[in-house]
Amino acid sequence: MKIAIFTDSFFPTLGGTERAVLGLANELLAQNHEVAVFCPNHPDAANFRFDFPVYRCPSVGLTANDRMALPRFSRKFQKQIMAFKPDIIHCQSVSGIANAGIRYGVKNNAPVVFTVHTKFRQALMGSIKIKFIVDLYVRIIAKRINKANVVCTVSHDMVEELKKYGVKKPVSVVRNGMMFNREILSEETKNIAIKKYNISSKDVVLLFVGRIVKVKNIDLIFDALKTLNNPGCKMIFAGDGPDLAYFKALAEKQMLSNVVFAGKVSEDELKSLYYNADLFVFPSVFDNDPLVVTEAAIFETPAITLAGTGSAERITNGQDGFIASSPEDFKLLLSKLCSQKELLKPVGMAAAQSIPKTWAQAAEEYLNVYKKLL
């Protein structure tokens, strides 16, 4: 089977969609299918190599991590799609490049599958901030999604969100696979975070991994940290983003000496952070089935999330993670868990068994969709 994945978000930019596309593409390739990724160009694209072909169209930079694809401006790009002759078009984002996939699908009778990863109304309000323009753009996107043969997303929370946008098609949930395999870390890797962040066995290590942006509800973490009365708690933020300076200033203003901003970290350092963390702190109401919650679980680190969010859907409260019913409950629960560290280990061990899903499992679900369409 020849599968063309169209995405506005792919490496060198960093985010959950990029990693999900990579995980799915690698697994489909491993199962002897032909895969190609069609995405925007990037100034640093030449530094990245993959086991499958990546075709890039002209683009312009919107932010340090976002590109706007301009597929209509390249005949070469159009010819590359035609030359690949995909059996299935799988759009993993909803912006400009999806149009190129839809056009090919309609013209060549190739079924189109959409997977929606992002709450784009919330994302657009964070940048455009003008409601009627956002409403107009959301309607355009919903109209585009409705052209697909099959619509998927990664959480039940997002299913309801898409209905509000005006998506009329039935929406199926296919959760993401995990980017890390279970493995026994070397002592050297385990000790990376211990040495770099001066972690002792008495510390309660809290961890956040992801883009440092306000839309991920990081302010709630700082509200909670203000009320913690536990000098042994160490809060580590791993990641970069446009609001990093804001949160660094907030930590300084609140005189939170127990907060560490790690910035971008290597894969080994990230594994070491997951391994040494006691609790993964993720109050985002924006994310849908975030890969970081799964990654933390692989290393037996349970997550604390908010009820009614995509971040909480894999978790059974108190068994393989923790779900707070409200922001106030989140602060109280975090304080309790920091003072009762012994509660965390058995929950983390259960999380490692119940939460992770392999990309082989996710790919099998998508392949069943493809086969039915063909």
Q: How far apart are the first and last CA of the chain?
A: 10
Quick one: 22 and 136 in the same domain?
Answer: yes
> Which residue is listed with tokens 């973490």?
221
User: Cβ distance 71 to 77 under 8 Å?
Assistant: yes
Q: Any idea which of 116-125, 295-304, 355-364 has the lowest mean pLDDT?
A: 116-125
Quick one: tokens of 109? 């009778």
Quick one: 127 and 233 in the same domain?
Answer: no
The mean of the pLDDT values for the chain is: 95
Residue 319 is classified by DSSP as T
Q: What is the CA radius of gyration of the chain?
A: 21
Residue 281 placed within a domain: yes
Q: Domain count of the chain?
A: 2
Rounded average pLDDT over 296-306? 97
pLDDT at 26 over 90: yes
Parent domain of 227 = 187-354
**Per-residue CA distances from 208 to 6, 233, 235 (Å):** 29, 13, 8
**Could you tell me which residues come within 8 angstroms of residue 168 by beta carbon, excluding any fewer than 6 positions away?**
146
Quick one: 152 and 289 in the same domain?
Answer: no
Quick one: 219 and 170 in the same domain?
Answer: no
Quick one: 322 and 367 in the same domain?
Answer: no
Quick one: tokens of 22? 């990579």
| Confidence band, pLDDT 50/70/90 cuts, at residue 14 | confident
Helix ranges (H only) for 234-373 are 244-253, 267-276, 291-298, 327-339, 344-354, 359-373
Quick one: 82 and 161 in the same domain?
Answer: yes
Q: How far apart are CA 243 and CA 216, in angstroms?
A: 11
Q: What is the CATH number of the domain that holds 141?
A: 3.40.50.2000
Quick one: 127 and 224 in the same domain?
Answer: no
Quick one: tokens of 54? 């990546």
Angle at 247 between CA 243 and CA 248, to 5 degrees: 115
Q: What is the pLDDT of residue 358?
A: 94
Residue 367 placed within a domain: yes
Quick one: 316 and 222 in the same domain?
Answer: yes
pLDDT at 217 over 90: yes
Residue 46 placed within a domain: yes
Quick one: 116 and 233 in the same domain?
Answer: no
Quick one: 123 and 235 in the same domain?
Answer: no
Q: What is the pLDDT of residue 2?
A: 98
Q: What is the pLDDT of residue 254?
A: 93
Count of Cβ atoms closer than 10 Å to residue 154 Cβ: 26
pLDDT at 235 over 90: yes
Quick one: 340 and 365 in the same domain?
Answer: no
Q: How far apart are CA 247 and CA 27, in angstroms?
A: 37
Rounded average pLDDT over 84-92? 98
Residue 182 placed within a domain: no
pLDDT at 127 over 80: no
Q: What is the pLDDT of residue 276?
A: 98
Quick one: 253 and 324 in the same domain?
Answer: yes
Residue 212 placed within a domain: yes
pLDDT at 64 over 80: no
